[in-house]
Amino acid sequence: MIAAVSLVGMATAVQAADAVNLTSVSTLSPNFRPQNVPLDYVITPNGYFAASCVHAVNQGEKVHNDGSIEALDGSIRKPAACTLPHFTQSGVRIEANGRIGNPLSSRKPASSYSGWLLTADYVSSSNVGTISANWVVPSNPSSTTNQVDYFFPGLEQNDSSPDSILQPVLGYNAFSGSGVSAWTLSSWNCCYAGSTYYSGPVNTAAGHQIYGIVTATCTSTSTSSTCATITTKDQTSGASTTFTTSPYGALTWVFGGTLEAYNISSCSLLPASGSVSYTSIVVKNMSGTTLSNPWSADNIIGSSGPACGYGISTTNSSVTLDY
């Protein structure tokens, strides 16, 4: 019994240490970060989190709906509940219980943009069981400072509480503390009870073919088990990262392709290729029927700077994001 307790403690410590490998807010220039975000927080595809609320999941492990993680040998570790707030990309405080803090406490730097830039999405009239997409790792940005660029498709609940988003993610400079290459792959489920879970990172490189897929057998009444799987694969190298999890609700909000970036003060901090295309997008309902995709092209950055020629074009099975 003592040995088991010791192992659980060690596992929890490893998870917290892994989160430190994510790019830290402390590495950012004061002009490039919301000034109310603590310096020891890390950057994720869903905003700024305390490292203790970001949990690494090993290949093939399961995240149960109570936040516990089941290893391949069946042993269970339970990270401590998150009691700290996280912050949106613009610095709005979100309490661990999901309550939104006072927007007036957020101070967004005028000299840079952080957040979702472009996405193509829609809300399905039926529960979604699968989204898959292919895309190519773009060329490196012509300038590298402390920016983080994320590219992903994904599934989410629509106006549901609790809420989570399941994402196969390509990131540039996302794990700057880990010593891995600039481009990495990881799979994410965020942000139930203030915590976020990820697997990976896996190294990749410009020009590699990427495949991301989220599958779910969950309905609104069957979310107590690990009924969803997130896989992010480098088809060029064969490397991939996968874990199973609970989405905490039926998935109806579909994202065919998204560009999210942090600390973008000039266009040179985005990949130099100028566009990313998500192709062969397949969305299926819970019965396995392929759905049509009435994408809504959302230029979220709008007139905010920098002006990088943003544009979105779609077909039923593709999304191209220009910047």
* Summary mean pLDDT of the chain: 87
Q: Which of 315, 322, 319 is nearest to 271 (CA)?
A: 322
- Measured CA to CA in angstroms, residue 12 lies from 212, 268, 272, 317 at distances of 28, 39, 39, 41
Q: Is the pLDDT of residue 107 over 60?
A: no
Give the distance, in angstroms, between the CA of residue 108 and the centroid of all CA atoms in the same chain: 21
Q: What is the structure's pLDDT at 219?
A: 67
Q: Is the pLDDT of residue 88 over 70?
A: yes
DSSP sequence for 167-224: EEEEEESTTTTTT--SEEEEEEEE-GGG-EEEEEEEEE-TT-EEEEEEEE---TT--S
Residue type present at position 227: C
Residue 194 has φ and ψ, to the nearest 5°, of 80, 0
302 torsion bin: left (phi>0), alpha (psi -120 to 50), beta (else): left
- On whether the CB atoms of residues 260 and 250 are closer than 8 A, the answer is no
* Measured CA angle at 81 (ends 78, 86), to 5 deg: 130
Rounded Cα–Cα distance for residues 250 and 230 (Å)? 15
The 10s digit of each residue's pLDDT in 143-188 is: 988 899 999 999 998 865 557 899 999 999 999 876 666 999 999 9
In this predicted model, which residue has the larger pLDDT, 95 or 105?
A: 95
Location of each CATH 2.60.120 domain in the chain? 113-189+199-322
Q: What is the structure's pLDDT at 277?
A: 98
- Measured CA to CA in angstroms, residue 154 lies from 22, 72, 85, 179, 231 at distances of 21, 25, 24, 27, 11
Q: Is the pLDDT of residue 238 over 50?
A: yes
Rounded Cα–Cα distance for residues 174 and 165 (Å)? 18
Q: What is the structure's pLDDT at 305?
A: 81
Question: Collapsing DSSP states into helix, strand and coil, what is residue 16?
Answer: helix
Strand order across the 54-57 sheet:
54-57, 196-204, 183-190, 165-172, 148-156, 253-264, 113-123, 296-299
Round the CA-based radius of gyration of the chain to a whole number and report it.
18
Q: What is the mean pLDDT of residues 273-290?
A: 97
Rounded Cα–Cα distance for residues 46 and 247 (Å)? 15
- Give the β-pairing of 253-264 and 113-123: antiparallel
Q: What is the mean pLDDT of residues 115-131?
A: 96
107 torsion bin: left (phi>0), alpha (psi -120 to 50), beta (else): beta
Handedness of CA 302, 89, 149, 111 (dihedral sign): positive
Report domain 113-189+199-322's class.
mainly beta
Strand order across the 62-63 sheet:
76-77, 69-70, 62-63, 240-245, 228-234, 209-216, 128-136, 275-285, 318-322, 311-315
Which one-letter DSSP state was computed for residue 271? B
The 10s digit of each residue's pLDDT in 30-50 is: 877 788 899 999 999 999 999
Residue matched to tokens 């915590």: 195
* Measured CA angle at 281 (ends 276, 283), to 5 deg: 140
